[in-house]
Amino acid sequence: MKKFYITTPIYYVNDEPHIGHAYCTVLADVFARYHRLLGNPTYFLTGTDEHGQKLQDTALNKGIEPQRYCDDIVKGFKETWRKLNIKNDDFIRTTEKRHIDVVTLILKKLYESKNEAGQSQIYDAEYEGWYCKYEERYWTEKDLVEGKCPECNRPVQRLSEKNYFFRMSFYQDWLVDYIKNHPQFIQPDFRRNEVLGFLKQPLGDLCISRPKKRLSWGIPLPFDEDYVCYVWFDALINYISAIGYNHETGEFEKDWWPAVHLIGKDILTTHAVYWPCMLKAIGFDDDKMPKTIFATGWWLQEGAKMSKSVGNVIKPLDLVDKYGVDPFRFYLIREMTLGQDATFSEESFIKRYNSELANDLGNLLSRTVKMISSYCDGKIPDCDGKIPEFSEQEKAEQTLDELPYLQVKQLKEELNAFRLNNAVDKIMSFVRSINRFIEHNKPWVLAKQNDKLELNRVLYVAAESLFISAVCLHPIIPSKSEEIISQLGHKIDSKLFSGGLKDWGNLQPGTKIKPGESLFPRLQKVKPETENSEKGEYISFDDFKKADIRVAEVISADKVTGADKLLQLQIKIGKEQRQIVAGIAKNYSPEDLIGKKIIVVVNLQPVKIRGIESNGMLLAATSGKKLVLLTTDMDIESGAGVS
């Protein structure tokens, strides 16, 4: 069992959380939950960065003390994480005594020590340069873009003042060699190359102080009471102050280090350059550097980065209130390839939700519990007192995309390589293959044939595979996964999500299942009520008469392989026989349809659906998730016209 320590950035509390904050925190939560699921001791840290010029100015403009302002904003962050079902082990604030004490002692240690070349680690010097108070950074002339800050495009001011500097340049050669020799240190690889490219230029020393006459809201320097610590030097130390770093012994109160840092790509330099140099100067050996610094992408809208000034920021709780917590978490993890940018749109959200959560996972649960209720007296089936398993042929052919025990093994491999999107893709592919397994084995036919032993085997394999899928999806959609587990009659036990998942046989035969509500009702983007009337979207009576609508009799019906909602029907229209494909499998089983009289539009151009020709379209009424076929109220011969 390998210990796993994961952190988010500590978020600057100058405003309420947005989707970027939510993504990184949900991502860290998912990684932490997966490592717990695999039995690894895990520690998950998040928190807030509460010092600096911007916070001081914002608080003063509001007429309140900076600490009170921070306290109010932090409540919003904590409430957001609670609503997003984030299970962090710790939440650190840079205004806490435990953090301030560690920062103060590290500053004192560095000020009093020298590097291997006999130079002071921290020294004072006069500095003149361009300063951006919004980014709280100094810039050289060549850094500026049209005379403005290259980060926020705001005006800068010329400053000349005494400050204290950390001799970061001394560690440049060491850092380049370390990055080259430790390919996992900075991920993805193209970010590693980006940092190495940055380090081809001479690395300057880092200004780590701000005069109190200009900025008083910060941690005072222990060696000069007229200065406070630069916010970034202060903030980075949270990763070790939270777990009780002892500057004298170099040990930790909580033995979790080294960490995996999840960060946004815009703070890569501070984490991949400043932070390792700071740690090296403090006395950390090479084997005590952070395990991995992983830079995530940005969420875009219409190709542009979300920005409060542009007005395109998405508030996570708005989406949670509209669609629910688990669908929101699923979309964040599923839509973005880790490390790349992703574009958010409501259309893509609804498409992802309907295709994978409603059609694949929700439908699988619904049909599985329905068949167990109908064919097995509502109990998890067995085979003569044994736990049913795959047949030898199914094992050899790997009937499901991956047998469950291989699924969990591959999950470990993908997580260790930070390929979370691959892991989720394999789980959802596994879910779809369970649906295909059901289609192939046709439990409804086995029930008619009274083949009880084979019926029980098929339904147990389906239910157990669904159970394993639910546990594997628990880190992403914890509440909905627990609903699946509960409907399958299994007790919700925290041990199950801490290394307690068996390769096979988690469901005990004879256990009563507990069918519940639809897990993921389909979503539709609601159009304005007046849209159709304003556009005048009417048809004439002559246009309506062009539709040839007739009564048809269903001769046979079969499921379409690999399609959860499609049925292939053979119908008789008078003396003519035709084939149509209809999306009604969620509402009607094949055996329910044989002999039924339905209403069909017969003069539509034939189309191919899943490679099967469909020559006509049946008519049905829908309301929400309910669908009812249109029929006649009295018997009438097939082929009769509808007028």
Q: What is the pLDDT of residue 136?
A: 74
Stronger pLDDT, 565 or 305, i.e. the higher one: 565
Checking if the pLDDT of 27 tops 90, the result is yes
In a domain, 373, yes or no: yes
Same domain, 474 and 542: no
Same domain, 462 and 595: no
Residue 450 has pLDDT above 90, yes or no: yes
Q: Which residue has the higher pLDDT, 315 or 541?
A: 315
pLDDT digits (tens, 9 = 90+) for 51-60: 988 889 889 8
CATH number of the domain bearing residue 467: 1.10.730.10
**For residues 498-527, average pLDDT:** 87
pLDDT single digits (tens) 381-439: 988 778 888 888 877 766 676 666 666 777 888 888 898 988 899 899 999 999 999 99
Its domain, for residue 551, covers 535-629
Partnered with residue 90 across adjacent β-strands are 45
52-66, 199-213, 236-250: lowest mean pLDDT where?
52-66
Alpha-carbon distances of 272 from 151, 289, 480, 555, rounded to whole Å: 18, 11, 37, 68
Residue identified by tokens 């299970």 is 87
pLDDT band at 454 (very low <50, low <70, confident <90, very high): very high
Residue pair 329/85 in contact by the 8 Å Cβ criterion: yes
How far is Cα of residue 419 from the mean position of the Cα atoms in its chain?
Answer: 12
* 405 in a structural domain: yes
pTM for this model (two decimals) = 0.79
Mean predicted confidence (pLDDT) in 161-169 = 95
Whole-number average pLDDT of the chain: 88
Where a domain ends, among 440, 469, 497? 497
Which pLDDT does position 592 carry in this prediction?
77
Q: Is 90 exceeded by the pLDDT of residue 531? A: no
Last residue of a domain, one of 451, 472, 497: 497
- Structural domain includes residue 240: no
600-630 confidence digits (pLDDT tens) = 898 887 877 766 888 889 998 887 667 888 8
In a domain, 367, yes or no: yes
Which pair of tokens denotes residue 112?
């009093």
Region of poorest pLDDT, from 79-93, 182-196, 594-608: 594-608
CATH number of the domain bearing residue 621: 2.40.50.140
pLDDT of residue 120: 97
Q: Is residue 295 part of a domain?
A: no
Q: Is the pLDDT of residue 267 over 90?
A: yes
H/E element, 37: helix 19-37
Identify the band that residue 534 occupies on the pLDDT scale cut at 50, 70 and 90: very low
- What share of the chain has pLDDT > 70, as a percent? 92
The answer to the question of residue 559 being in a domain is yes
Is the domain of 487 the same as that of 411?
yes
Contact 166, 206 (CB under 8 A): yes
Q: What pLDDT score does 210 carry?
A: 93
Q: Which residues sit opposite 130 in a β-bridge?
A: 139, 158
Q: What is the pLDDT at residue 536? A: 44
566-585 tens-digit pLDDT: 888 888 888 788 889 998 88
**Residues 623, 566 share a domain:** yes
Inter-CA distances, 135 with 73, 143, 151, 167, Å: 19, 13, 7, 21
SS3 label, residue 151: coil
Question: Considering its fold, how many domains does the chain have in total?
Answer: 2
Decide which of 41 and 503 is more confident. 41
Query: How many whole angstroms separate alpha carbon 59 and alpha carbon 68?
Result: 8
Same domain, 387 and 484: yes
The model's confidence at residue 535, banded by pLDDT at 50, 70 and 90, is: very low
Residues 453 and 563 in one domain: no
What is the percentage of the chain residues whose pLDDT exceeds 90?
56
Residues 466 and 566 in one domain: no
The verdict on residue 248 lying in a domain is no
Whether residues 490 and 560 fall in one domain: no
In this predicted model, which residue has the larger pLDDT, 283 or 558? 283
Q: Read off the pLDDT of each residue in 86-115 and give the average, rounded to a whole number.
A: 97
pLDDT given for residue 528 in this prediction: 42
pLDDT average, residue stretch 539-561: 78
* Same domain for 596 and 460: no
With cut-offs at 50, 70 and 90, classify the pLDDT of residue 74: very high
Strand partners, 558: 568
Q: Tell me, what's the pLDDT at 157?
A: 87
pLDDT for 391: 80
- Structure confidence at residue 525 (pLDDT): 62
Q: Are residues 466 and 544 in the same domain?
A: no
The reply to whether 489 and 561 lie within a common domain is no
